[in-house]
Structure 1
Amino acid sequence: MKKHITIILIFFFTSLVYSQKMKVVNGDFDFIKDQKEINVEFVYDNMKLLKKNLSNDEYVKERSGDLEAKGKGKGKTWKKSWVASRELIYAPKFLELMNRDLLDKQGMSFEEDLTEAKYTLIVETIWVYPGWNAAVMRKPAKLTTLLKFVETANRDNVMLEITSKNAPGNRFGGTFSNEDRIGEGFAKTAKTLSKLIMKKAF
């Protein structure tokens, strides 16, 4: 029995490690090396959700309706947390992991509202799968983003463009919060991106 559980766990965590695909589609890393700070912006305008590729409005309507049917007020409460999670979970998770290696080892800071920074990293959310947790079984979130480094003063000047597909999001021990799982997807994206920058730029 223990052997079967071990095999299942190995398969589960291996699938998380290898499911993310990050690819440079345009530009190079030459501009990054001498920078001490990079401005970061998060964009959610055109993101799609679930396998049905719902718009944000469609997803919120569907999800809040389902929750409201289970209990009066639950849908409205979730809707507020869904919007707030962008500033309270997603952005902080991403920035924390970007700075963990790059700030400590290279003295390079990634922060929001650095309007004087020469370059800006635009983190555009393309697709989100929130995942689920049924206690005995669970499925991690998946996050697809477009990571675009542009000149702050001239956004049409794209220095580097990277696609990140299906970054897995799950917390050790599991979580019943969709937003927490998605936040871990942002953390995984940042961790992979920071390692790529460390490898290619320095």
Structure 2
Amino acid sequence: MKKQLTILLVFFCASLVYSQKMKVENGGFDFIKDQKEINVEFVYDNMKINKKNLTNDEYVQEHAADLEEKKGKGEGKAWKKSWIASREIIYAPKFLELMNQDLYEEKGISFKKDLSNAKYTLIVETVWVYPGWNVAVMRQPAKVTTLLKFVETANRDNVVLEITSKNAPGNRFGGTFSNEDRIGEGYAKTGKTLSKLIMKKAF
């Protein structure tokens, strides 16, 4: 019993250390309340991964080789495809789902990709990702750090609002052995927190 309590305490402390921090760096929220739709773009070009701050190419090479060695031939190649595909099938949808949950239903503002006619674009730039891990009774949530920039769609140099989001935690209820699922929950948390911030500041 004492050992179990110790483990729970460790996880509780870890959650405090890696709690999400969202900070407004520049700009204001007034422009949002008059909009009905905002374009969203996701950028992964310069993201770093894990505590070693690997580039995407370095991480893919390292993790794929590890899978090939530990799980068998072809496992690394299969994972490479799912790693990239997760951006479109997990990360972006999770973020957008939580962004729209309150803002669209309560304020009628829709955040979607490919809205080229929208006056403003939200650029979700991934800065750092920690995939986390799950080994039976012990687990570590994913963490996602992003730079959230609202710009004029027709003039990207005009940044009207810039927000940093650090260490958004990601884990699925009950746990998951999929790095991509955990990371996806980090994007969901980012969307949810940003949505609440907008609801508070813009209306």
Query: TM-score interval w.r.t. the shorter chain?
Result: over 0.9
For 1:52, the equivalent position in structure 2 comes to 52
How far 1:136 moved relative to its partner? Answer: 1.3
* CA spacing shift, 1:72–1:184, aligned 2, 3 Å: same
What TM-score comes out, normalization by structure 1 length?
0.95
Q: Is the 8 A contact 1:50 1:130 kept in 2?
A: yes
Q: Is the 8 A contact 2:132 2:143 kept in 1?
A: yes
* CA spacing shift, 1:58–1:11, aligned 2, 3 Å: closer
* 1:136 and 2:129 aligned: no
| Matched residue SS, 1:54 | coil
What TM-score comes out, normalization by structure 2 length?
0.94
How far 1:10 moved relative to its partner? Answer: 9.5
For 2:155, the equivalent position in structure 1 comes to 154
Q: Is the 8 A contact 1:36 1:108 kept in 2?
A: yes
Unaligned runs of 5+ in 2: none
CA distance in structure 2 between the aligned counterparts of 1:18 and 1:129, rounded to whole angstroms: 11
Structure 1's consecutive aligned runs of 4 or more residues displaced over 3 angstroms after TM superposition are 2-7
* 1:28 and 2:48 aligned: no
For 2:114, the equivalent position in structure 1 comes to 113
Q: Name which of structure 1's ranges 157-166 and 9-18 shifts more when overlaid on structure 2.
A: 9-18
CA distance in structure 1 between the aligned counterparts of 2:112 and 2:13, rounded to whole angstroms: 31
Q: Is the 8 A contact 1:131 1:178 kept in 2?
A: yes
For 1:15, the equivalent position in structure 2 comes to 15
For 1:166, the equivalent position in structure 2 comes to 167
How far 1:16 moved relative to its partner? Answer: 5.9
CA distance in structure 2 between the aligned counterparts of 1:12 and 1:58, rounded to whole angstroms: 32
How far 1:13 moved relative to its partner? Answer: 8.6
| Matched residue SS, 2:34 | coil
CA distance in structure 1 between the aligned counterparts of 2:76 and 2:97, rounded to whole angstroms: 30
How far 1:8 moved relative to its partner? Answer: 1.5
* CA spacing shift, 1:16–1:172, aligned 2, 3 Å: farther
For 1:63, the equivalent position in structure 2 comes to 63
In structure 2, give the amino acid aligned to 1:127.
Answer: W
How far 1:9 moved relative to its partner? Answer: 6.8
In structure 2, give the amino acid aligned to 1:52.
Answer: K
How far 1:12 moved relative to its partner? Answer: 2.8
* CA spacing shift, 1:68–1:14, aligned 2, 3 Å: closer
Residues 85-128 of structure 1: CA distance to partner in whole angstroms, max 9, x if unpaired?
Answer: 00000000000000000000000000000000000000000000
How far 1:60 moved relative to its partner? Answer: 0.2
Q: Is the 8 A contact 1:16 1:168 kept in 2?
A: no
How far 1:19 moved relative to its partner? Answer: 1.0
Percent of aligned pairs with the same residue? 82
For 2:105, the equivalent position in structure 1 comes to 104
Q: How much is the aligned-residue C-alpha RMSD, in angstroms? A: 2.0
TM alignment of 1:56-95, pairs within 5 A: 56-70=56-70, 71-95=72-96
CA distance in structure 1 between the aligned counterparts of 2:131 and 2:122, rounded to whole angstroms: 24
How far 1:5 moved relative to its partner? Answer: 4.1
Report how many residues are paired: 202
CA distance in structure 1 between the aligned counterparts of 2:120 and 2:164, rounded to whole angstroms: 18
